């Protein structure tokens, strides 16, 4: 939402500058994201001053040039060569001094420099209006009034004051602040009720009632009252359509609005003034002089103002005449019924359309307009007539014309206001501070919330309909605290809390622990949207059958609830790759969603993604790429942090992976790890290998052992290690070796570790070499060589018998 500072000040009178106003608005929830200067004239005429031509004579070498001496308020007059035919001694003119940058009406900006023209030095330029960007005339230089004082900056002389545009990041529920007066109302309440009150006054423009009551040939009918609870309009005859006056153009241009003509600009002005969208029809183009508010026919066509022919649904509300649809109600006008330079008679519309109908139509037609933006979120039905009166007043002021019909005001029953009971004790409990009752009542009054009754316990309130976000007591409390100031609620000197039992394992605590551990390993946490694109369903037919589809998606890329964290991970890899950041270690916690015959199912998961180089690029490190080893190390670290033991890795199949391994504990599957399939890499245009793990967080939590505190003395006697270099078949896994070893020696064998693998020449076909260490320890005595040798002999024999292993 863009707000013009000068426009805002026309409703609220305060001495605060633009930055102070921005700070106040941000503090009350209207977050000002940026403040930009808006110059009436590009460059602000910096370096351009009033000059007095004290001498003027012909150039000896050029008939069309004049040599002048111009007093610009300095110690000496400036010598300036001028080519204007109307320059003369005694004139007051505008002079661009050396270094000034000019922005002409046409052409590129240029800087004034000292130069020579036909041998004569020139120390500036006497300007025409097009050279300053003030108009289009180049017939001669601008001649000022005799009262102009030499040396006065041109901006001051011409009354050119810059404006500022405040970009406010509004939340969708704050419909009351979708206008300049709405922002002024909040600002006024904040200043009046600040800790140190600031002098301020607010005034809404006064309007006069439209007193024309005689009947006319124009007729209005509303055929669908639910979609249009209130419709008002009036006929104006004899208007003169043309360019808008400068004040109106400046207001609209300051917030980035394009000026069209005085009639259309006035309707846009009112929309941004008080938040009420309006529309103007050329009355001569209304067939049968009958305005009908009706539902469109299925397949009915209309060409809108953007030049697009649109096919309507029978669920779309339109403004029509006896022959055709003229406008999509509350969304966008039609090209055939709009106001043009040939328009003489205008029918003005001011209405309240139901938000649901407007939102669905705008979504169906793919239109996002300023009008639909406001109607979708809820306008004020009580403001319809005021806006119509304001428009009639401005049109008669700027375009002439006379009211030629009664005011049509067709309305259905709608709520007058939201009724809310406000309790002092509940307010104190929510706020945590006893705000004086008079202050609370003042805040409510300044926000136009009406106090209808007061008791010892609280207040009975009526909240205006334009405050769609204030319908409960808690909402009113929030409004009071927002204006009173969150920073004015002191932090208590003593905190009171009660201890409570939490079921183990504590999922949130474990998530923080795992996150901290992964971050310490160089990972970055990501967060992706819970919505994903329907295009991903083609990657996995099984997932397509369980997809949870959004009934009213914002776009095709947000059409289904995600079924895997892989899509978000791959999008993060793609984004970073495109920004030349290809070495990534990422993790994410999130939910996935499926729809089965038994109903909807949500599941928490954690993903780990590694890709690119293993080490940062440096002369002192290798350029090896990450591999399964790096991914497994992260997964193992995660399991260790959670205290999960007995995790098994076994070959599995998953659509996302070229080669995948399933993690399990007993019969419970914990997730999959592997390298991402080429088809998925191609979908996201990722050009390097990606290793990815997606684990079932709910299953991991169930695998966490019960928390038991135990104590064991440090070992008093040393451990003994023996290494074996085993020659085994390629089909034999390390897990098989580990299993056989522990089955052979259950009491004294503490650890088995694979520390080297060799496959290559000097080995028989189908063979590989594993170097395995075995660590043994007796907690009661020092082990003897004889005892260790006996154990190793039994282990060697078991490995030979069960796995065909031999010593290399």
The predicted structure's pLDDT at residue 347:
95
Whether 723 has a pLDDT exceeding 90, the answer reads: yes
Give the β-pairing of 584-596 and 524-525.
parallel
pLDDT of residue 559: 83
Are 463 and 474 in contact, with CB atoms under 8 Å apart? no
Other Cβ atoms closer than 10 A to 692: 28
- Shortest CA distance to 55 belongs to which of 40, 68, 65? 68
Q: Does residue 358 contact residue 206 with C-beta atoms inside 8 Å?
A: no
What is the per-residue pLDDT for 213? 59
Q: What is the pLDDT of residue 666?
A: 85
Looking only at the bridges linking them, the beta strands covering 720-729 and 657-665 are unpaired
Distance CA 172, CA 169 (A): 10
The reported pLDDT for the residue numbered 549 is 85
Tell me whether residue 785 is exposed, middle or buried, using C-beta atoms within 10 angstroms of its C-beta: 0 to 12, 13 to 18, 19 or more: exposed
Residue 75 sits at φ, ψ, to 5 deg, of -70, -40
For residues 633 and 639, give the distance between their C-alpha atoms in angstroms, rounded to a whole number: 10
> Would you state the pLDDT for residue 339?
93
Mean pLDDT value across residues 703-720: 83
CA 54 remoteness from chain centre: 59
Residues 6+ apart with CB under 8 A from 33: 167, 168, 169
- Please report how the helices 424-431 and 473-484 are oriented relative to each other, as an axis angle in degrees rounded to 10: 60
Residue 559, both tokens: 């059409």
* Cβ–Cβ under 8 Å, residues 369 and 376: no
pLDDT at 125: 94
User: For residue 162, what pLDDT is reported?
Assistant: 82
Cα 274 to Cα 387, 391, 654: the distances in Å are 8, 12, 57
Residue with more model confidence, 325 or 501: 325
Residue 219: Cβ-neighbour burial (10 angstroms; 0-12, 13-18, 19+):
middle
Tell me the CB-side half-sphere exposure of residue 777, using CA atoms within 13 A: 11
For residue 381 the two structure tokens come to 């039905």
Measured N-to-C along each axis, helices 628-642 and 507-520 cross at an angle, to the nearest 10 degrees, of: 140
309 forms bridges with which residues in the sheet? Answer: 303
- Three-state DSSP at 775 gives strand
- Please tell me the predicted confidence (pLDDT) of residue 707: 67
Q: How many angstroms separate the CA atoms of 55 and 69, rounded? A: 5
DSSP letter, residue 43: G
Question: Please, which pLDDT band fits residue 695 given cuts at 50, 70 and 90?
Answer: very high
Cβ-Cβ contacts under 8 Å for 498 (sequence gap 6 or more): none
Q: List the beta bridge partners of residue 290.
A: 219
Work out the mean pLDDT of the chain and round it to a whole number: 90
pLDDT, tens digit, 9 for 90 and up, residues 294-348: 999 999 999 999 999 999 999 999 999 999 999 999 999 999 999 999 999 999 9
pLDDT digits (tens, 9 = 90+) for 725-735: 999 998 898 88
Q: In sequence order, which residues have a C-beta less than 8 Å from that of residue 629 and are 6 or more positions away?
A: none
pLDDT tens string 91-102: 999 999 999 999
Neighbours of 774 (CB within 10 A): 21
| 695 φ/ψ angles, rounded to the nearest 5 degrees | -115, 145
pLDDT above 70 (res 133): yes
Task: Tell me the C-alpha to C-alpha distance, in Å, between residue 775 and each of 372, 384, 568, 633, 782.
Answer: 74, 86, 43, 22, 13
Q: pLDDT digit string (tens) for 537-567?
A: 766 666 778 888 888 777 777 888 888 899 8
pLDDT band at 466, cuts 50/70/90? confident
Say which residue, 706 or 694, is predicted with more confidence.
694
Q: Is pLDDT at 516 greater than 90 in this prediction?
A: yes
Chain-centroid distance of CA 404 in Å reads 46
Residue 507 has what pLDDT? 85
Question: Exposure pattern of 524-545 as b/e (b: 16+ CB <10 Å)?
Answer: eebebeebbbbebbebbeebee
CA distance 360 to 226: 14
pLDDT of res. 538:
67
Total-model pTM:
0.65
Q: Alpha-carbon distance 562 to 568, whole Å?
A: 9
Task: Say if residues 200 and 12 touch (Cβ distance below 8 Å).
Answer: yes
Q: What is the pLDDT of residues 205-221, one digit of tens each?
A: 898 888 765 677 899 99
The 10s digit of each residue's pLDDT in 63-110 is 889 999 999 998 889 999 998 999 999 999 999 999 999 999 888 999
- Per-residue pLDDT, 214: 67
Name the one residue in this structure whose structure tokens are 């014309």.
401
Q: How confident is the model at residue 522 (pLDDT cuts 50, 70, 90)?
A: very high
The pLDDT of residue 326 is 95
| Tens digit of each residue's pLDDT (9 = 90 or more) over 243-288 | 999 899 989 999 999 999 999 999 999 999 999 999 999 999 999 9
* Residue 612: Cβ within 10 Å count: 18
Using pLDDT thresholds of 50, 70 and 90, give the confidence band for residue 630. Answer: very high
Looking up tokens 């204006």 gives 483
**What number of residues does the chain have?**
808
Q: Which of 287, 282, 416 is nearest to 349 (CA)?
A: 282
Enumerate residues 6+ apart whose C-beta is below 8 A from 709: none
Q: Look at strands 402-403 and 230-237 and give their pairing.
A: antiparallel
Using CA atoms, how far apart are residues 454 and 111, in angstroms rounded to an integer? 68
- Give the angle 479-8-245 at the CA atoms, nearest 5°: 145
Rounded to whole angstroms, the Cα distance separating 332 from 313 reads 15
Tokens of 408: 């049509």
Tokens of 542: 């099984």
Give the count of alpha carbons within 13 A of 136, CB side only: 0
Structure tokens belonging to residue 106: 């046409």
Q: What is the pLDDT of residues 397-428, one digit of tens each?
A: 999 999 999 999 998 877 778 899 999 999 99
Chain centroid to Cα 155, Å, comes to: 37
DSSP state of 150: T
Q: Would the pLDDT of 50 be above 80?
A: yes
Distance separating alpha carbons of residues 478 and 484, to the nearest angstrom: 10
The secondary structure of 284-334 as a DSSP string is GGSGGGEEEEEEPPTT-EEEBTTS-EEE--TT-EEEE-SSSEEEETTTEEB
The CB-side HSE value for 486 (13 A sphere, CA atoms) comes to 8
pLDDT of residue 384: 94
Q: Are 584 and 609 in contact (CB under 8 A)?
A: yes
Residues 431-460 have a mean pLDDT of 93
- What does the pLDDT read at residue 502? 66
Place of tokens 């610009």: 72
């Amino acid at each position: 939402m863009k707000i013009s500072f000068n426009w805002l000040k026309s409703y609220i009178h305060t001495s605060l500058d633009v930055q102070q106003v921005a700070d106040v608005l941000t503090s009350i929830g209207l977050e000002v994201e940026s403040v930009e200067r808006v110059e009436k004239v590009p460059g602000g005429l910096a370096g351009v001053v009033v000059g007095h031509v004290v001498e003027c004579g012909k150039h000896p070498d050029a008939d069309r040039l004049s040599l002048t001496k111009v007093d610009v308020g300095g110690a000496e007059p400036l010598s300036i060569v001028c080519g204007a035919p109307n320059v003369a001694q005694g004139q007051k003119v505008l002079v661009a001094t050396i270094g000034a940058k000019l922005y002409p009406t046409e052409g590129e900006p240029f800087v004034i420099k000292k130069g020579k023209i036909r041998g004569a030095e020139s120390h500036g330029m006497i300007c025409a209006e097009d050279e300053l960007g003030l108009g289009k005339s180049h017939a001669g230089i601008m001649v000022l009034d005799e009262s102009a004082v030499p040396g006065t900056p041109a901006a001051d002389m011409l009354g050119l004051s810059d404006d500022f545009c405040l970009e406010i990041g509004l939340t969708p529920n704050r419909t009351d602040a979708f206008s300049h007066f709405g922002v002024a109302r909040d600002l006024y309440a904040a200043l009046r009720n600040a800790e140190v009150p600031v002098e301020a006054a607010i005034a809404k423009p006064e309007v006069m009632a439209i007193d024309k009551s005689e009947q006319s040939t124009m007729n209005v009918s509303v055929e669908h009252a639910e979609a249009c609870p209130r419709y008002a309009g009036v006929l104006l005859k004899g208007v003169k359509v043309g360019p808008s006056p400068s004040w109106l153009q400046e207001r609209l241009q300051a917030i980035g609005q394009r000026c069209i003509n005085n009639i259309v600009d006035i309707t846009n002005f009112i929309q941004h003034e008080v938040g009420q969208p309006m529309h103007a029809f050329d009355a001569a183009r209304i067939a049968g002089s009958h305005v009908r508010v009706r539902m469109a026919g299925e397949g009915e066509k209309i060409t809108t103002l953007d030049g697009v022919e649109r096919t309507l649904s029978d669920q779309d509300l339109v403004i029509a005449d006896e022959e055709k649809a003229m406008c999509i109600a509350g969304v966008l006008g039609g090209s055939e019924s709009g106001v043009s330079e040939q328009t003489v008679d205008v029918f003005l519309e001011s209405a309240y359309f139901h938000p649901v109908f407007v939102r669905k139509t705008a979504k169906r037609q793919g239109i996002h307009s300023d009008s639909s933006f406001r109607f979708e979120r809820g306008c004020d039905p009580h403001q319809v007539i005021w806006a119509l009166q304001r428009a009639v007043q401005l049109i008669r002021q700027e375009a002439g014309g006379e009211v030629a019909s009664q005011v049509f005001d067709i309305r259905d029953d709608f709520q007058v206001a939201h009724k809310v009971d406000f309790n002092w004790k509940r307010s104190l409990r929510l706020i945590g501070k006893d705000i004086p009752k008079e202050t609370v009542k003042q805040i409510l009054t300044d926000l136009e919330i009406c106090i209808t009754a007061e008791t010892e316990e609280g207040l009975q309130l009526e909240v205006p309909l334009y405050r769609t976000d204030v319908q409960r007591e808690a909402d009113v409390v929030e409004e009071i605290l927002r204006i009173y100031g969150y920073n004015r609620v002191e932090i208590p000197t003593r905190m009171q809390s009660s201890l409570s039992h939490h079921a183990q394992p504590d999922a949130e605590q474990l998530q923080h622990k795992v996150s901290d551990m992964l971050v310490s390993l160089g990972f970055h946490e990501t967060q992706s949207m819970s919505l994903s694109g329907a295009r991903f369903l083609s990657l996995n037919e099984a997932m397509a059958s369980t997809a949870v589809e959004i009934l009213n998606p914002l776009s095709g890329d947000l059409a289904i609830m995600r079924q895997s964290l892989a899509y978000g991970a791959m999008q993060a890899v793609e984004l970073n790759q495109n920004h030349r950041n290809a070495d990534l270690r990422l993790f994410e916690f999130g939910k996935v969603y499926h729809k089965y015959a038994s109903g909807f199912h949500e599941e928490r998961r954690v993903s780990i993604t590694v890709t690119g180089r293993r080490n940062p690029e440096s002369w002192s490190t290798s350029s090896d790429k990450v591999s399964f080893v790096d991914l497994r190390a992260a997964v193992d670290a995660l399991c260790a942090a959670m205290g999960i033991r007995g995790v098994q890795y076994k070959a599995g199949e998953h659509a996302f992976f070229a080669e995948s391994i399933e993690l399990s504990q007993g019969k419970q599957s914990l997730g999959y790890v592997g390298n991402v399939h080429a088809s998925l890499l191609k979908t996201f245009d990722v050009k390097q290998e990606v290793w990815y793990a997606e684990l079932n967080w709910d299953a991991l939590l169930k695998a966490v052992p019960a928390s038991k505190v135990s104590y064991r003395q440090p070992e008093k006697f040393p451990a003994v290690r023996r290494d074996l270099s085993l020659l085994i078949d390629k089909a034999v896994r390390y897990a098989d070796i580990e299993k056989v070893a522990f089955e052979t020696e259950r009491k004294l064998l503490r650890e088995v570790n694979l520390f080297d693998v060799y496959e290559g020449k000097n080995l028989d076909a189908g063979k590989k070499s594993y170097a395995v260490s075995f660590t043994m320890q007796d907690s009661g005595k020092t082990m003897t060589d004889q005892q260790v040798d006996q154990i190793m002999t039994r282990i060697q024999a078991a490995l030979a018998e069960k796995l065909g292993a031999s010593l290399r």
